[in-house]
């Protein structure tokens, strides 16, 4: 069975209603629990890297995502980054430039 690493970063996909409005609250494991059918097609490990609104992500945070993929590259068959929708394109651009020629899937997903 394929091994996938889910890298949770927060964003709308991880939001819950709080006293201050929507705020990233779900962990990667809680996101994974929403998709129990995945257990039939792959094994997913979770890395709770951060829990930020994507508008608060910095270049350093995006670099942390890239380092996490690179540091775990030999261990997994693919990677999913659960990310906020608002700045997903910026993270995708950075990953494209700092992780060229990947031969494994790297999927960024938000809640759109």
Q: Which residues are catalytic?
A: 12
Cβ 42 vs Cβ 74: under 8 Å: no
Angstrom distance (rounded) from CA 6 to CA 47: 6
The 3-state DSSP class for residue 108 equals strand
Strand order in the sheet with 78-82: 42-52, 2-10, 78-82, 106-109
């Amino acid at each position: 069975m394929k091994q996938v690493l889910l890298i949770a970063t927060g964003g709308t996909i991880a939001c819950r209603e709080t006293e201050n409005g929507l705020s990233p609250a779900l962990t990667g494991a809680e996101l994974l629990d929403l998709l129990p059918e995945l257990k039939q097609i792959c094994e997913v490990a979770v890395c709770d890297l951060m829990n930020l609104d994507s508008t608060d992500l910095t270049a350093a945070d995006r670099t942390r995502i890239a380092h996490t993929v690179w540091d775990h590259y030999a261990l997994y068959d693919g990677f999913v980054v659960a990310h906020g929708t608002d700045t997903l394109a910026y993270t995708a651009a950075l990953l494209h430039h700092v992780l060229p020629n990947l031969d494994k899937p790297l999927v960024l997903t938000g809640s759109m």
